[in-house]
Structure 1
Amino acid sequence: MTRPAPTVEHNTAKHRYEIHVDGERAGLTAYLDHGDQRVFHHTEVDDAHAGQGLAARLVQEALTDVRASGKRIVPVCPYVAKFLERHEEFADITDPVTPDILEWLDSRLG
């Protein structure tokens, strides 16, 4: 019997994309919107699901959704930044992390 494929869902109420395995959340990438920018600030995958490529799939689908929404990407999260280095197809919608963005993010996250 094969396991169902992981699914990615956009949880707008919690400002994050979640990846689910067998119906349970296995990871997330969190963001805050700043005008037309979606500022990604944290990505995690549960230890039980580490090494399965879930973070890459999660971020790929999240960034594809950002493109479809007409927003731009700001990769404060180190994982998202590293992902973007290897995936140039998102370069046209990626903005640099600036001191202003970091200050704004810090004021929002506390």
Structure 2
Amino acid sequence: MRIDGKLAGLAAFLDRGEQRVFHHTEVNNAYRGQGLSTVLIEQALADTKAQGRRIVAVCPAVAAFLGKHGGFADMTDPVTDETMDWLEEKFAKKG
């Protein structure tokens, strides 16, 4: 998410088949307290839905959003040990 050309926040994810695994969400300090994380997450999830992907919320902020907003329940998969192992392997390769 950019505001006036500056990076205000991000929702980080990796695609795994038909799933989009959200693993981190962050809003820069200068933009906190303005409700931007909700907007950011909602837009990221809407984009995921538009692409026909399923949501896996490893990120606590995305999981909390999903718990409060039922509009994405039909396209959300649980976080499994297999998903976590896959994610760990992806990050080990990058590190």
What TM-score comes out, normalization by structure 1 length? 0.82
Residue number in structure 2 paired with 1:90: 72
Displacement after TM superposition at 1:101 (Å): 0.1
| Identity across matched positions, percent | 54
The AA in structure 1 aligned to 2:75 is I
Displacement after TM superposition at 1:67 (Å): 0.5
Residue number in structure 2 paired with 1:11: none
What TM-score comes out, normalization by structure 2 length? 0.95
Residue number in structure 2 paired with 1:40: 22
CA offsets 1:73-109 (integer angstroms, 9 cap, x no match) = 0000000000000010000000000000000000001
The runs of at least 4 aligned residues of structure 1 exceeding 4 Å deviation read: none
What pairs with 1:1-110 in structure 2 (closer than 5 Å)? Answer: 19-110=1-92
> What is the aligned-residue RMSD (CA, Å)?
0.5
- Identify the structure with the greater helix proportion: 2
Give 5+ residue unaligned stretches, structure 1.
1-18
Cα separation, 2, equivalents of 1:67 and 1:32:
15
Aligned length: 92
Residue number in structure 2 paired with 1:9: none
